[in-house]
Amino acid sequence: MPRTRASALFRQTFGGPPEVVAAAPGRVNLIGEHVDYAEGFVLPIAIERSTAVAIRRAPAGAPSRAVSEVTGEESFDLPTARGPLPSRSWANYVLGPMRELIDGGQARACNVDVAVASDVPLGGGVSSSAALEVAAALAYRELAGGTSDRLAIARLCQRAEHRYAGTPCGIMDMTVSACATLGHALLIDCRSLALRHVRLPASAIVLVFDSGVRHRLSDGGYASRRDAVERAADALGVGTLRDASPDAVARARDDGRLDADAAAKARHVTTEIARTIAAADALDAGDLAAFGRLMYESHASLRDDFRVSIGELDALVEAAADAPGVYGARMTGGGFGGSAIALVDRERADAAQAFIGDAFRRRFGRQPATFATAAAGGATVAPYVHG
């Protein structure tokens, strides 16, 4: 377990036990992609994989040190830091949330020793960055006397990703990591941050297939599409595309206010918001077939209108459509790589996983990394128990 490994790494590196250990899950988004920054609706689940942060106060006069199982060690002076570490350091995902707590007057400034362990795949479209940020924020809040609630933690982690990682992400990933409920998807209104916990039937499970193509949301593709969405809203005279409709987008395309590319991106956002609300209602009603149809529609929109899918993701979704027991499938995450998901009848999950994996292997010559997950609970934090 990441908690156990983070504690062991802490002892190995720093010669004693941590004071606090926090763990936060990654996520997959069932539906509602590239709409969070347009103040739309999203429907993610927390996955049964997490990132753990073990922490204690650093010795007097010593800087902060952060060590990870896979990405090495960094040091920084947390009380005086005023910006990100250079060269896209992984430690910015630790430094940033802690500085946001300090700068917001929500925790006292002190240097810390930190150890990180995770089983959330890096770059796989399952939000490894948000898991680390939320775990780091909760661990530091517990250690340094902060009082932020879970939604406040999500907001400050979003700011940290903007300021310290350079990614203009929405609020979804951090919110579900911090606030999910076991056995439920989380419908998030990204304007008001109203939350609706929607039960995922126990008869269904989610399969996650890693395309093997790594992505970095800070490389520019994500930012360029967010910019296009915001420019489309300006052209339509609305604050965000949450307040537009597919018909309004079509009219703006026909009268020349939107070119074909901008209209396609805006069409995705406006139709995806409507699909997500319909999907939550279908899930509430236990209509997994209807939910699955909406997943396929979402993927087609992301592929054709928003153009963030890739051949490997398309192949996984196409195979899922022919696999036994699959209700629906789509890419998940920001795109340009990462993972696809399939919502599957639990009793036929093994057969579906084998079918989809074999189809992918025949096309690309390699087996995709795969795992199954139910809907997990949100982040946890507690003082370290010695022993």
Mean pLDDT by 10 residues, the chain (387 residues): 96 96 97 94 97 97 96 94 88 96 93 97 84 97 86 95 88 96 97 96 96 69 84 96 96 95 96 98 97 98 96 97 98 90 98 98 96 97 76
For 217, the token pair is: 């949301």
In the chain, what's the furthest Cα-to-Cα distance?
70
Q: Name the DSSP letter for residue 242.
A: G
CB 45 within 8 A of CB 145: no
Half-sphere exposure of 199 (CA within 13 A, CB side): 7
The torsion angles phi and psi of 197, rounded to 5 degrees, stand at: -85, 120
| pLDDT score for 383 | 84
**Among positive and negative, which fits the CA dihedral 345, 351, 355, 356?**
positive
How many other C-beta atoms lie within 10 A of the C-beta of residue 362? 10
Q: Report the distance separating Cα 3 and Cα 276, nearest Å.
A: 34
Q: Partners of 218 in the beta sheet?
A: none
Task: Give the list of residues 6+ apart from residue 55 with CB closer than 8 angstroms, or none.
Answer: 18, 19, 20, 21, 22, 112, 113, 114, 115, 139, 140, 143
- Its CATH architecture, for the domain 200-373, is 2-Layer Sandwich (3.30)
| Angle, vertex CA 205, rays to CA 170 and CA 222, nearest 5 | 20
Q: Report the distance separating Cα 4 and Cα 8, nearest Å.
A: 6
DSSP run (H or E) holding 45: strand 41-57
Domain residue ranges of the chain, discontinuous segments joined by +: 2-198+376-383, 200-373
Task: Give the list of residues 6+ apart from residue 202 with CB closer than 8 angstroms, or none.
Answer: 183, 346, 374
| Angle, vertex CA 96, rays to CA 95 and CA 99, nearest 5 | 85
Q: Report the distance separating Cα 387 and Cα 375, nearest Å.
A: 30
- Fold classification of 2-198+376-383 is Ribosomal Protein S5; domain 2 (3.30.230)
Distance of CA 54 to the CA centre of its chain: 21
pTM, to two decimals: 0.93
Q: Which residues are catalytic?
A: 173
| Angle, vertex CA 216, rays to CA 211 and CA 220, nearest 5 | 125
The torsion angles phi and psi of 141, rounded to 5 degrees, stand at: -60, -45
| pLDDT score for 224 | 83
The torsion angles phi and psi of 22, rounded to 5 degrees, stand at: -120, 150
